[in-house]
Chain A
């Protein structure tokens, strides 16, 4: 028998017990932006988790998922050139009202970050928003975590032990610099060094 919404919430709560958690103002603003577009399309580049699929699929018209974290992990393990992952982002220009980049940039070198930013800029519609995180020294670790969206925009940082990705440790100014093609819309300090950014395409 399928679990009810209440059952799932309790199950999620149990799964999240003991995880680091915070409330995301950036996500709240992101969703408010999407709510203005009845046929909104959102791209999530991962790490994929079912809570986020459920969250976005219930709030946007079409939810696109392309898990670049797991692709990056596989390319690195095989010794394949990392730049090949960009062929996965083969979406048409101006396809999305929003893109969830999370902390992917922190797992890429400069060249690939530039490619990611260029692609995101191309794939976003004018006025569209991108959510970017930087974890900072206190939270960042080599362990990759998914940003699991819970109720009321609570975000749980769930370890993804199957992913072994490098960490570049970017800071606030690095994010602003790499996202230069975008207009900085808002940023929030979640913890010292741990920040959320919203960038808008002109």
Chain B
């Protein structure tokens, strides 16, 4: 069922943290929605949703029981359940180890836990360009240095087998 997790004032807020405690609507695990969702508060989906989700200033969470097939526009997105579709996030996308995601992600930043079931195309807002260290000048503090010269490829391994 649809629930409000907390009552606060009615001013719209921009959600910036996955742990934000602003107003949040919950779509319970016995709910199936087909169609478009637009919201001005955070949303937690534990049920099934198919369609389009628009909540550009807010945080969408797909809970561990959630199953979503949708195009998503949100400020931040956290996925712990199943989501198939494309995400366009102005902020952060967080994918936990219980997530199953298939689709495209465009976001400012991303975090992914080891163990997430992922098939994705990822485009992030670029950080400032990083310099490439020229080949042949490895770090002096490296505990293990690879060979500087390529070895000749031949049908033998390093043991001569």
Name B's interface SS: loop
Q: Is the CB of B144 within 8 A of A22?
A: yes
Known: A57-B122, A58-B126, A70-B115. A193 touches B132 (CB 8 A): no
Give bound CA distance, A186 to B124, whole Å. 30
Contact with A along B106-125 (1 / 0, CB 8 A): 00111111111111111110
Contacts of A79 in B (CB 8 A): none
Interface membership of B35, Cβ < 8 A:
no
CB B36 to nearest CB in A, in angstroms, measures 27
- Chain A residue total in the interface (Cβ 8 A): 58
Known: A28-B133, A173-B161, A193-B158. A23 touches B114 (CB 8 A): no
- The residues of B that contact A65 with a CB separation of less than 8 Å are 118-122
Q: Which of B62-70, B82-90, B135-143 contacts A (4 or more CB under 8 A)?
A: B135-143
Q: Are B117 and A67 in contact (CB under 8 A)?
A: yes
Quick check: is A62 within 8 A (CB to CB) of the other chain?
yes
Complex contacts, A119 vs chain B, CB 8 Å: none
Known: A62-B121, A187-B150. A49 touches B135 (CB 8 A): no
Instruction: Judge if B24 is at the interface, Cβ distance under 8 Å.
Output: no
Contacts of A88 in B (CB 8 A): 119
Interface presence of B58 (CB below 8 A): no
Q: B: which residues have CB within 8 A of A?
A: 16-17, 91-92, 97, 108-124, 126-127, 130, 132-133, 135, 138-139, 142-148, 150-151, 153, 155-159, 161
Interface residues of A (CB under 8 A from B): 1-2, 5, 21-25, 28-29, 31-32, 35, 46-50, 53-54, 57-59, 61-67, 70-71, 74, 88, 136, 146, 152-154, 158, 160, 162, 171-173, 176-177, 184, 186-193, 195-196
In the assembled complex, 20 residue pairs joining A and B whose CB atoms fall closer than 8 Å, in A order, are A22-B144, A22-B146, A23-B142, A25-B135, A25-B148, A28-B132, A28-B133, A54-B110, A58-B124, A58-B127, A62-B122, A63-B121, A71-B117, A74-B117, A152-B133, A152-B138, A154-B142, A158-B114, A193-B158, A196-B146
